[in-house]
Amino acid sequence: MLKLYCAPNTISTVVVIALNEGVHWEPIRVDVAGGEQTRPEYLKVNPKGRVPVLLTPESALTETGAILEYLGETALPDLLPADPLHRARMREVMYYLGTTMHVNHAHMRRGYRWADQDSSLSDMQAKVSETMAASSAYVEGLIEGPFIFGSSPTLADFYLYTLSTWLERDGVGIEAYPRFAAFKAAMEERPSVKRAIADGFFG
């Protein structure tokens, strides 16, 4: 059985909801708020000190986007588009979310990764509502509705859903982006997301 090192309100919830779409799996909860991911025992699992980590029968796999693709190829084929250009479009969204939108958000609480002074961290925090609003406006233009690519979700939708749950605490009201708000609502109708919310992975 697949196991996932994961924690509420982290990017690992992307993989939680994807797994809930139809994979038999088990969570290994990591106390990220308490810093468990930085301790020697956890660093043996993932030297990068982050969640998620997917334990497969063969190995431990890290990086949200790579784990999603692995699940799409091995267990969740309905979430991986069959056409190469559609797959490319899905990956274009996933890489944007990973390299730009998630990074914008990370400057709220993880600014110490890139700067040392308290004044820098405050400056970064103050700008997050601006950068996350810009990301939301870009995402708004992508969404065909209700899901990113129309009537069915792909792997990218699970990535975007988790980021949508961070907007409020980043100072961005999703209601200013009607397609993005409708996307979030549509995702919250899926049993995979309902189960993750009930299991305490969001909020």
CB of 147 to a copy of itself, least distance (A): 18
Residue (150 or 200) nearer to a copy of itself, CB: 150
Q: Can you tell me which of 16, 19, 107, 143 binds a copy of itself, judged by CB under 8 A?
A: 107
- Contact set for a copy of itself, span 139-158 (CB under 8 A): 141
Alpha carbon of 76 to those of 17, 73, 79, 100, 118: distances in Å? 12, 7, 6, 26, 44
Q: Can you tell me which of 26, 31, 78, 123 binds a copy of itself, judged by CB under 8 A?
A: 123
SS3 49: coil
SS3 147: strand
Indicate the pairing of strand 60-62 with strand 53-55: antiparallel
Please answer whether residues 95 and 47 qualify as being in contact, where contact means their C-beta atoms are separated by less than 8 angstroms. no
Indicate the pairing of strand 25-29 with strand 2-6: parallel
Per-residue x/- track, 66-105, a copy of itself (CB under 8 A): xx-xx--xx---------xx-xxx-xx-xxx-xxx-xxx-
Q: Can you tell me which of 65, 81, 146, 153 binds a copy of itself, judged by CB under 8 A?
A: 65
- Contact set for a copy of itself, span 31-50 (CB under 8 A): 47-48
User: Does residue number 116 form part of the binding site for a copy of itself (CB under 8 A)?
Assistant: yes
The amino acid present at 139, given as its one-letter code, is V
Q: Can you tell me which of 119, 151, 175, 198 binds a copy of itself, judged by CB under 8 A?
A: 119
Please answer whether residues 56 and 2 qualify as being in contact, where contact means their C-beta atoms are separated by less than 8 angstroms. yes
The helices-and-strands tally (H runs, E runs) of the chain is 9, 4
Please answer whether residues 171 and 136 qualify as being in contact, where contact means their C-beta atoms are separated by less than 8 angstroms. no
Q: Can you tell me which of 36, 63, 188, 199 binds a copy of itself, judged by CB under 8 A?
A: 63
Residues engaged in binding a copy of itself (CB under 8 A): 47-48, 56, 58-59, 61-67, 69-70, 73-74, 84-85, 87-89, 91-92, 94-96, 98-100, 102-104, 107, 111, 113-117, 119-120, 123-124, 126-127, 131, 138, 141
